[in-house]
A = this chain, B = another copy of it.
Amino acid sequence: MRAEAAAGRAGGIVGLVPTMGFFHEGHLSLMRAARAECGLAVVSLFVNPTQFGPGEDLAAYPKDFDRDCALAAAEGIDIMFAPEPGEVYASDHATFVNVERITAGLCGASRPVHFRGVATVVAKLFNICRPRRAYFGLKDYQQARAIETMIRDLNFDVDLVRCPIVREPDGVAMSSRNTYLSPEERRAAPVLRRSLVAAGQGIERGERDAGAVARQLCHAIETEPLARVDYAEVVDADSLAPLTRIGRAALLAVAVQIGRARLIDNLVVETAS
């Protein structure tokens, strides 16, 4: 991979789309951006064990390698980099990248080793593939902010390209984990987006009390009997620090358990004041 990337750099810039596979339209939108902007478009496919905690869905994570290869090829991707865990991590792997503060709340609170694993594997992928641009979807907003912070703090020569959330027609954010949902649970899933939009409309109508917005968001999700709220928060869109009063740019972020799927979604609301 290192040699292929070096050859690719000679003819243009390298673009990297880091993924865990089982591609949906969200992944494909990242690939299209990389394909349009880069001389060498690389997709990494690696279900990274260090970002899963005990009891999480590492073993169950959905896979379809042949289908993924066909979809990436159809998008014109040059290289699918799909290493085995034993190639990525030495048996005595000992080095971890920690991004503090920005990873403390939201998903970091319920998944304590998650962002350490994400930052570590992305640092590894950056050093192996040496991309000039890396493509991340904004469904994983906190992940994108953590990687942006890592890029700045460790001086990686990489631009993170933020790509918009891709949604199903009923508003559900595309996620490989949506496959965990039964048909009945799938019918409950639009409650995330519906509740976020309603809370955003509250802000647009003038609500500035972040606690009130968060409570409204939480109650709206709880109207769905199959949904169990992990968190429903209103934080600063840059620092991800909790807000009391909504200022310039707020992130409304939710994580909701429906059946055995833990679904996340978010909405950035910008206000003039």
Picked from B92, B94, B124, B154, the residue with its CB within 8 Å of the CB of A155 is: B124
Mask for A86-98, Cβ within 8 A of B = 1, else 0? 0001101111111
A100:B90 contact, CB within 8 angstroms? no
Closest to A124 in B: B155
Tell me whether A152 is interfacial, beta carbon within 8 Å: yes
Count residues of A near B (Cβ-Cβ below 8 Å): 29
Chain A, range 97-154, C-beta contacts under 8 Å to B: 97-102, 119-120, 123-124, 127-128, 149-150, 152-154
- Of all chain B residues, the one with the shortest Cβ separation from A94 is B100
Q: Closest B-chain residue to A102, C-beta based?
A: B94
The smallest C-beta distance from A9 to any residue of chain B, in angstroms, reads: 11
Find out whether the CB atom of B157 lies under 8 angstroms from the CB atom of A127.
yes
In angstroms, how far is the closest chain B Cβ from the Cβ of A164? Answer: 26
Which of B89, B102, B154, B156 meets A120, CB within 8 Å? B154
A153 to chain B, nearest CB (A): 3
Distance in angstroms between the alpha carbons of A149 and B92 in the assembled complex = 10
Query: Does A2 sit at the interface, judged by CB under 8 A?
Result: yes
CB-based nearest B residue for A98: B96
Provide the residues of chain B in CB contact with A239, threshold 8 Å.
Answer: 92
Chain A positions within 8 Å of B, measured between CB atoms, are: 2, 89-90, 92-102, 119-120, 123-124, 127-128, 149-150, 152-157, 239
Supply 5 further A-B pairs (C-beta < 8 A) apart from A96-B97, A124-B154, A127-B156: A89-B153, A97-B97, A97-B154, A127-B155, A127-B157
